Chains A and B, each alone.
Chain A
């Protein structure tokens, strides 16, 4: 084990997989010479050279399309979109091509690529650079979606993503890049897809989160523990495949669920998860499933009001208190 940041854990995963497999290449806007807008690709160009580590033009739709073709042609490309917001320019290649070609060509091809997308809100970047678009991807079958919460998962999930023969949307939270944690040194350390993590055990309420929302849920749970409220925190790790089993098993124990999503509430993934919970364990629930979501507004710039739009640990804790205070 070594202590490192989420950023360095991603960087280590990239280096290890590029050393292991010469078909792994990485490109994106400013990933090579500039070493990434968030400095995630530091040291890659010097170690692996300009054939495998390349800068490319600001052409997001083509960034994804080139990865689709390169993957079909035998490489394992990793494409970086500078932020998830720019994925909206690439939705044609993501939804109409990346997620479809294997199926519509009758299983005769595969698309082993990873698209890394830093995102999330909370840095006062305004309405166009603060979005959480995970529900957009989750709506479409044909791609895996990983969203690590911890440095260890950032390494282990990314390595699994690179070795996956399916296209993977790999979401990284910009506010987690500097977070630190213990990360296994083993170059074969892989975190499987579709296996949620229990970040904290508890027996009164189940908090379901992912990415930064899992971290904030854990903070809330630690705060509530001081008040004698025992929360179990489930970190989904991957949104597709979705480990509903672990979620349900936890709710079978606690009888209450709070789903925490950073995205907008309207048609957000929290509603989908809540409906699946109702379908699986309605009889066991002691209260309705609560959703804590990003507000349905374009993100304002000013930090005073921006933080009101994104779930915070205190807000999650208050949501749990409210849930427990209600009589059903």
Chain B
């Protein structure tokens, strides 16, 4: 039995969730097209299916809170406020990109939005997130640092070192595992001796919970509650967001290790049509309004592609910039 949306948030906030999820989906599907055309190259990890996590979590935070993520980072950067034009330009490798075309898909960074980076060595962001939380504590900044990662990253040493450290030093880190059940092609139970992932924090005395990562409202509520807890107690907390990626690990992965029946079950739980259905059922939006939102997102992504494709390439001299201060 789903809770009523009414009373959770004002209508305009619920519609904003919807619009952000649609924007992310359209952005990612457009990236796939541009990759097929050869405009986007290198590794490309798409977020389609997981939108409720980025949108719900971000809404549950304050803008001053830091967010760090892994390589599947487009949606988290855009939802946080990064300009889709400049994110697309980064993917196109252009000088107008959010990192001047030097980072690419896996290394977005937008300090003015406190989006402190996409890191592409699995588990590399754990200690860095702990470091950000340490700095904000010493500087009395009252920030929560949110560290996103996938289920596969929990088997890296840095996960254990960092959870231990965050609890030992009592640092305000909110760890959010996006459990999409596969580390590339290896299913969780084939990589983790304890397949119920959120239980693994007990060794570090860090409380944890499992949340439906296909439900944007549930993600919002859990994150808001957890962030308030972390902020008040100055201690780490852990959320396992159970979710699913509709595409392969990256564009190079046809995802043949997953059955079509499994895929269909998760498609039926797609966070976007499910929120649409609830918005209509409760009279918060009509079909026409939802279509208008969809069209607006499509236009915004088209504009991002236009901006990126018309942007200049980096100057050759740029190779030598930004290595040292």
Contacts and interface: CB of A to CB of B under 8 A. Distances in A.
Interface of A: 23, 25, 51-52, 54, 56-57, 59, 61-75, 77, 92-93, 96-97, 101-110, 112, 141-142, 144, 164-166
B253 interface: no
B158 A61 contact: yes
A105 B109 contact: yes
A62 B116 CA distance: 18
Given A57-B164, A72-B116, A106-B109, 16 more contacts: A56-B165, A56-B169, A57-B165, A59-B161, A62-B127, A64-B127, A66-B134, A69-B128, A69-B129, A73-B131, A73-B132, A97-B128, A105-B107, A108-B110, A108-B111, A164-B325
A84 B1 CA distance: 58
Contact of A65 (B109, B110, B117, B127): B127
Nearest to B131: A69
12 contacts: A23-B139, A52-B138, A66-B134, A69-B131, A70-B138, A73-B136, A102-B325, A105-B99, A106-B100, A106-B102, A107-B321, A164-B325
Interface string B68-110: 0000000000000000000000000000011111110001011
Contacts of B138: 23, 25, 51-52, 70, 75
A70 B109 contact: no
Given A66-B134, A92-B124, A105-B103, A97 B323 contact: no
Interface in B224-264: none
Contacts of B322: 102-103, 106-107
Interface string B122-153: 00101111111111101100000000000000
A65 B126 contact: yes
Given A69-B131, A102-B323, A105-B109, A62 B126 contact: yes
Considering residues B66, B116, B321, which has the most beta carbons from chain A within 10 angstroms of its beta carbon? B116
A144 to B, nearest CB: 8
B312 interface: no
Given A61-B158, A75-B135, A106-B100, A141 B323 contact: yes
A68 B131 contact: yes
B121 interface: yes
Contacts of A102: 322-325
Contacts of A52: 138
A159 to B, nearest CB: 17
Contacts of A164: 325
A105 B110 CA distance: 9
Contacts of A57: 161, 164-165, 168
B121 to A, nearest CB: 5
B20 interface: no
A59 B131 contact: no
B134 A108 contact: no
B162 interface: yes
A49 B128 CA distance: 24
Contacts of B116: 72, 109
A65 B124 contact: yes
Considering residues B117, B126, B134, which has the most beta carbons from chain A within 10 angstroms of its beta carbon? B134
B242 to A, nearest CB: 27
Contacts of A65: 124, 126-128, 130-131, 158, 162
B157 interface: yes
